[in-house]
Structure 1
Amino acid sequence: MKRRKPVGWPKLMRAKRLRHGAEAYYWDIPSWAKKGGCLLKAEALGGDYAMAKLRCDTILNPQFDGWRRRFNVGASFPNVQAGSFDWMIATYKRTPQYEEKSAKYKKDIDWLLGLVSKHPLKDGRRVGALELQSITPGAADLLYSKLKIKNDGSERNRTAMGAMIAAKRAWSVAYRCQPKVVPAENPFSRMEISYSPTRTRPVTHEELTKFVDAADGLGMASIGTAALIAYHWLQRQVDILSRLSWSHYKPSDSPNCVRIFHHKTKVLYDLPLFDIDNTPLFPELMDRLDNAPRLGTLIVTRENLDRTRKIHLPWQEDYFRHCIAKVRELAGIDKSVKFMGIRHGGNVEGANAGLTESQLRSLSGHKNTSTMIRYAQETPDQQREGARKRRNLRTKTGNLSE
């Protein structure tokens, strides 16, 4: 009589009685899948049923299911062993905490985790092949010091810090999913990481005008429009390029406003376009939009029709950055200026104008003052104004310090 398999037995796993009487487990794909071009290989899983089941359920069968759906079967981790660092990453990438993130977030995290996983060790192995139990806090510190130095000898402190943060996050999430396999002590926690970020240089209004003129001169008016929106409405690049539509500008239920949504902070508000005396608050931007052709649903789209689809497509991040460099060069603006510097410039203008913290946050969509301060950087004008107010206070109260 054929023995019944226990509840939860992984598909494609079979047991085999060895000569000495012990039982071992094996995984293999069906013959029809081999004929269909599936490249996954048969694998011996050892004699521990729990570990064999874990590998089938978390690695092998999901890869096979992915192949059946003609999805990427996880080529980055084709031979990972249960309990290894690579296995931990693969486990993390199947959780809602990862899957619900944006495509850009996943791309960045994948690259950072790849730096850690692919880092070579002295014995020829990779970090990704290490058992999680063998990765100590000291090993994490050493790895961080190695990742800080590029092959050419230059430093990449921000990248190394990002890699450690990504590894810490992946470890914590994987532990919640597999607490019996992932150690409770996260070696990437409480690391003493020192990093002084390079400040984003804010763009002045004069530079903004040159930038917009250069964009128009190159036939890229949409880039000039995007720059004006970033400066005046303080929106982030991703919101401008992929979320801000014509329906948000003077919507039917609020025709004197523009509906601003900051996806990062989940802040939504209607920004008034006119003062109480009906004077336009953003005249150069509003005049541009009122006279601009509506080439699609989004306000900012590429000028040229797509050859295949015959529509005006949104700007993609990489190509947008490439064109920004062209516009910047024609405008005579130094290379240190990034598109995000335009939004910074708008925040700095607000700070120079004497806006209160609450007024700045109401326009920029920041939820807390500490984050906003990084954008509204201190300037000589602000410092002079502060010193002037202190001096006036001293003289007003009779302290003759002048």
Structure 2
Amino acid sequence: MTRLRDLGLGIGSFAPGHHNAITDVAGVRVGHTTLISGTSPSSDGPVRTGVTIVQPRAGNVRDKPVFAGAVSLNGNGELTGLEWVRESGLLTTPIGLTNTFSVGVVRDAIAEYDTRTSGTDTYWSMPVVGETYDGVMNDIHGQHVTAQHVFDALDAAQPGPVAEGNVGGGTGMLCHEFKGGIGSSSRVLSEMDGGWTVGVLVQANYGTREALRVDGVPVGSLIPASEVPPPISSRSSAAYHRLPAGAGSIIVIVATDAPLLPGQCRRLAMRAAVGLSRVGGAASDSSGDIMIAFSTGNDSIPGEYYGSPDLTMTHELRAVPHQLLTPVFEAVSDATEEAILNAMLAAEDMTGRDGIVAHALDGERLLEVIHNYRGSGRGEATDSTATAACN
């Protein structure tokens, strides 16, 4: 699995965490179920889809909810449960990611899992589940994701390195007319800036080739369709031809251990759009670009149970002053940008329905075009810094 930093490249000035992933925020866990089978458009396939689960805390999040906030850059998509997130300022369930037609089964399965493991038949659950459309590569109408696949992803959720590319909910996704999928990145602020960790996970499935930029370099125009064919050219597909240019979506999940209030979490989520735009996301009319951010920095939030003996009239909270949030905003922007690029670089070539081929972004070719662009004087870097960046 290739990542941006394996190529000697990185985004921004803050250092990444140990795994350069959302799981660098203590307690956050990620699990995937990946479904790849079949070669023909029938009820048995081709299946190129899956489920990704992000658990905000060690243990059950319903026992210690986290403050959260969300924004929609363009709403042609779905992230369930946001009305309660907006109303309460709380995230009380894991976050699921899957394809557009499987949101319902993933939502219901998380609710069942929560109820089954809560120890009470009166527990209620308002799951948060996001989607992007994988119907170009996957037999999406077959709705191959089952509740058991969700349970498996929940049980598989763990800290540490995060699998990226053609995994989980990102299995059949495309990005800037290359293969897309799941990507993650993190940043650790200096002690002077609070020492907080910020992590991002994306399910990237959007964008045109010509819009793609990597650290400011117009890579999409330097690796044109004539060199690496987009999926649309691999086989005739009436469904694909009906999709508008740039069609597709992205879900961005932001986590931090900085103690933030719900409104501050919303502001964090908004900054993910900065990273998306740097890579070339334009929030087209046909895209669902939705971002959610949560903070694990307060442990005193009561559990999501009515009548709990631990429920007191008040509880104490901590919060970073808004005047000191700028470094956290910058970290979110940078980590989002890098997470998208990690999704593309970690992905592998895939053949999907109707023989459509999605090519991955090749790391060595990416280095070559960046080096040539900067070495030619068209970029801001000098020959020496461009060489250093590629070593």
**Pair member with larger Rg:** 1
Query: Does the TM-score normalized on the shorter chain lie above 0.5?
Result: no
Structure 1 length as normaliser, TM-score?
0.20
Structure with the higher strand share, 1 or 2: 2
Structure with the higher helix share, 1 or 2: 1
